[in-house]
Amino acid sequence: MPLLNIITNAPGDRVTTSDVLKALSTAVSKSVGKPEQWVMCSLTTDKPMIYGGSEEPCAFGYLMSIGSIGGDKNKKISAAICEVLTSQLGIPASRVYIQVGDVDPRNMWLRFAGCIDSSVARRLYELVEYLHFSDADAADVGWNGGTFA
């Protein structure tokens, strides 16, 4: 479940937030290599920020994912996110910081407040219990024919 959170001082009145979020979601999905159904993005505009002594548009992003990040892949991910920030918000890539975190699957939770049937919820609960109390990693378990790695 990749999660991208972007904070920027760019004015929100110049953009349609849903268009930016959709573009970020697609960029994260393609660059990380995970289905978009599991991608979550948030965007906070109009935040007072300064970078390099200037209040020109800048952004800070945090991307966390269960696997599928790290090393040279982070360059591809960063480029995809910066492309959206530049084209949609006018923020130069040179004024963007992105922090990337590889999250242990045992530290990631989903809340299913009645949104799925009880048999699926039960199986997911058993999976989470298995991950928490075993030495399994994301490559050992999967969903719909793929792994969580």
The answer on 133 and 119 residing in a single domain is yes
User: pTM for the full model?
Assistant: 0.73
List active site positions.
2
Look up residue 23 and give its two tokens. 């573009």
Judge contact between 149 and 139, C-beta under 8 A: yes
* pLDDT value of residue 39: 94
- Say whether both 98 and 30 belong to one domain: yes
Question: CA-CA distance, 2 to 28, in Å (whole number)?
Answer: 8
**Between residues 17 and 111, which one has the greater pLDDT?**
17
Phi, psi at 105, each rounded to 5°: -60, -25
8 A C-beta contact, residue 99 and residue 61: yes
Give the model's confidence band at 136: pLDDT under 50 very low, under 70 low, under 90 confident, else very high: very low
Instruction: Judge whether residue 129 has pLDDT over 70.
Output: no
What's the whole-number mean pLDDT along residues 24-50?
A: 95
Supply φ then ψ for residue 107, to 5 degrees. Answer: -105, 10
Structure tokens at 67: 């696997």
Return the H-helix or E-strand segment holding 23: helix 17-32
| 97 and 124, same domain (yes or no) | no
Per-residue pLDDT at 113: 47
Angle at 117 between CA 124 and CA 68, to 5 degrees: 35
Instruction: Tell me the pairing of strands 3-8 and 59-65.
Output: antiparallel
Mean pLDDT, the chain, whole residue set:
82
Instruction: Quote the number of domains for the chain.
Output: 2
- Pairwise pLDDT comparison (107 vs 136), residue with the higher score: 107
Mean pLDDT of 62-68: 91
Span 75-119, pLDDT tens digits: 999 999 999 999 999 999 999 999 998 887 767 665 544 455 555
**What is the rounded CA–CA span in Å between residue 15 and residue 25?**
16
Do 122 and 60 share a structural domain? no
Chain segment 69-87, per-residue pLDDT in tens: 988 899 999 999 999 999 9
Helices (H), 48-117: 73-89
- Residue 48 lies in domain: 3-102
State whether 127 and 87 are in the same domain: no
The pLDDT value recorded for residue 17 is 87
